[in-house]
């Protein structure tokens, strides 16, 4: 079983409902994460606005931030290696990492809009 870590940009909340404009990618990804967890994937999210130490303490994430700034976020690590930067994984990606638990083709269809998100929680400071 793979271990997945997602480092979010500074969000009020991980589904993005707090922004002045709600980001579909965040809504979709939150649902996907919930689904993946239900199916047994070990997946953890870190919010820059709430747990900045987690970003500072992870060499890979810290390095990406130094090179590319906040635009590098979200960053997804799979077993510690950078798998995605600047966008969220799709439900297919999560399904693939579920691997042994179930194969992706047997899982419910992924949302086609889930992919590239650009900047997250566009709403700025709500919290």
- Taking the CA atoms of the chain, what radius of gyration do you get in angstroms? 14
Window 22 to 41, contacts with another protein (CB under 8 A): 22, 24, 27-28, 30-35, 37-38
Minimum CB distance to another protein, residue 66 (Å): 6
Count of CB atoms situated within 10 Å of the CB of 47:
20
In the bound state with another protein, the residue whose beta carbon lies nearer, of 86 and 123, is 123
Count of CB atoms situated within 10 Å of the CB of 73:
23
Residue 44 backbone dihedrals phi, psi, to 5 degrees: -130, 140
The answer to whether residue 102 forms part of the interface with another protein (CB under 8 A) is no
The answer to whether residue 13 forms part of the interface with another protein (CB under 8 A) is yes
**Candidates 13-21, 74-82, 92-100; binding stretch for another protein (CB under 8 A):** 13-21
CA atoms within 13 A on the CB side of 4: 25
Beta-strand pair 3-8/75-78: antiparallel
Binding site residues, another protein, CB under 8 A: 9-15, 17-20, 22, 24, 27-28, 30-35, 37-38, 44-45, 47-53, 55-56, 62, 65-66, 69-70, 108, 111, 113, 122-127
């Amino acid at each position: 079983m793979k271990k997945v870590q997602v480092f979010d940009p500074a969000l009020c909340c991980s589904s993005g409902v707090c922004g002045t404009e709600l980001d579909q990618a965040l809504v979709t990804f939150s649902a996907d994460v919930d689904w993946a967890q239900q199916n047994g994937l070990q997946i953890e999210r870190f919010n820059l606005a709430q747990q900045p130490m987690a970003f500072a303490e992870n060499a890979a994430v810290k390095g990406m931030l130094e090179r590319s700034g906040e635009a590098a976020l979200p960053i997804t690590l799979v077993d510690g290696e950078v798998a995605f930067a600047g966008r969220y994984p799709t439900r297919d990606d999560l399904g693939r990492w579920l691997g042994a638990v179930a194969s992706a083709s047997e899982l419910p269809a992924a949302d086609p809009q889930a992919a590239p998100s650009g900047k997250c929680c566009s709403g700025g400071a709500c919290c």
